[in-house]
Amino acid sequence: MAKFSQAFLQGMLQPSYQKGLFTAAQQAGQLPTQMRQMREEEAKKQQALQRYDQAVQTSEQGIAAAQQGDVSALTNRIAELRKQMASATTLQEKQQIRAEMANLQRLQPGAQKIAVGNKAQSIVQGEEALKDESLSGPARLAIEQRLEFLKQDPEAMSQYNKFKMDQWRTDQAQKEIQSQQWLATNSEAINRAITNNDMDAVESIVEGAGEFSEAAQSFVATSLRNADAMARLEENSMERKIAPSVDYYQEQLDALPAEIRKTFKGTFDAYKDAADKGWNGSEWSTGERMRAKQLEKTLQGQLRAVYSQIATSEYFAKQKEGVAKREQIAQLELQIATPMSSEYVRQGRIQAASLLKKDEELTQAMIDQEARSLYQMDQRRAISQLAALRGESPEEMPIENAESVITQAMSANPGKTRDQVVSRLKAKGLIPGDYVEEKEIKTQEEMITEPGLINPFRARMKLEQNPYQGLSDG
């Protein structure tokens, strides 16, 4: 034990050992500082991780907003990321957040399109809701006001117009099938009634055609001509007369289109050959007469089939013509109801710039004026075309159409009073010259509390003193 103590004491007296003790003591003294630094570093890492998680969460929310077409929410998420980037402590963090911001910014155009589509869909849904006659009161008013607001967005109305026209064409495709079914069901009855000279039955069938009535009338008109043509065929047949009718059949074939005429060539040439060989001007040779008679029946059957095809073609041509006309009307109605879009502003800028005088500066007022002028020009053209398609003049425009034109003109001419806009539209022939708006009759209470009245209290006193005295001097 004594030896151990002596050795220990000697070791402690050695310089190297003393140095080691000093180092150990020094490290022991630094330990609290190192622990604090480690805790601070760990805290910084945790904070950085939280900021990263927050940035990722914000980015995910922005992506969800973009997918839903919520442009406002997407813009807010980008703004949040910008704030987070400002509070980031390292270059790496800032770069990561910047990358998330750039990704959301790339989604903005797509989100805008979705937002426009959502608005257009809301317009469609609102109009469908208003078709419910049981909807009334505040609920109906709320939907009407919402629709009025949504329809002020030209881009949304453009999408709405596209949707409505796609829907219209889908409906027309279904109606086309119905029109085919109608003809298949009624063509035989029409031809039978014509053969029996029962025009009352024909008229009854046409009246029941509904929206296909114009096409049905075309089919009947062609079928009547066909019946007359077939009657003449019978009159010129070899059953009624002895001599062949080569010239008559030649005339009938010449009246047909060249492509159809080709299908008759073989039969007609054989009939003509039989007539040339078998008819001597006064009588037939037995064999050739039988041959000519059979060929004539074949020729008449072919003509009947062609006449029937012509009547059917006339029916579908008239139906197609009606569809094209109705499509134009539908497109023009939508165009007239659509407010001025940004495209007019773009064209207005070009037009205004081209009209600038030397040293004159382009202003927004000039651009707006040209844009409105271009828009109104297109509106006038559309109204004129619509009137022509309907067989009416602007003076015969229905009141609800005039109201629509006035509403659109008001939105395109901010700062103008309604009376000014109406007068201008009348002068340009865009609404009837004798159009008169229904003036709302105000109560006395409404009159004396009307905004803009200089002294409503004095007006009330005058009214109480003399109810028949005017308010203009108050």
pLDDT band of 3, cuts 50, 70, 90: low
- The pLDDT of residue 429: 61
Does position 452 have pLDDT exceeding 50, yes or no? no
- The pLDDT of residue 447: 47
Look at 36 and 258; give whichever has higher pLDDT. 258
Tell me the average pLDDT across 48-68.
83
Does position 41 have pLDDT exceeding 90, yes or no? no
Does position 171 have pLDDT exceeding 70, yes or no? yes
What is the C-alpha separation between 196 and 311, in angstroms, rounded?
18
CB neighbours of 272 closer than 8 A, spacing ≥ 6?
246
Tell me the average pLDDT across 81-98.
83
- The pLDDT of residue 136: 82
Supply the mean pLDDT for the chain.
80
- Look at 176-190, 257-271, 459-473 and tell me which has the smallest mean pLDDT: 459-473
- The pLDDT of residue 448: 46
- The pLDDT of residue 438: 53
pLDDT band of 200, cuts 50, 70, 90: very high
**Alpha helix (H) ranges present in 282-393?**
286-336, 342-354, 364-390
Helix (H, G, I), strand (E, B) or coil at 130: helix
Kindly list the distances between the CA atom of residue 32 and the CA atoms of 36, 39, 42, 232, 312, in Å, as whole numbers in the listed order: 6, 11, 15, 123, 102
* β-bridge partners, 279: 284
Does position 338 have pLDDT exceeding 90, yes or no? no
One DSSP character per residue, 246-289 reads HHHHHHHHHTS-HHHHGGGHHHHHHHHHHHHHHB-SS-B-HHHH
Look at 258 and 408; give whichever has higher pLDDT. 258
Does position 269 have pLDDT exceeding 90, yes or no? yes
pLDDT band of 181, cuts 50, 70, 90: very high
Tell me the average pLDDT across 36-61.
77
Tell me the average pLDDT across 82-100.
83
- The pLDDT of residue 453: 44
What is the C-alpha separation between 454 and 474, in angstroms, rounded?
7
Share of the chain above pLDDT 90, in %: 15
Instruction: For the beta carbon of residue 472, count every other beta carbon within 10 angstroms.
Output: 6
Look at 444 and 105; give whichever has higher pLDDT. 105
- The pLDDT of residue 183: 92
- Look at 85-94, 286-295, 398-407 and tell me which has the smallest mean pLDDT: 398-407
Does position 179 have pLDDT exceeding 50, yes or no? yes
Side chain identity at 93, as an amino acid letter?
Answer: E
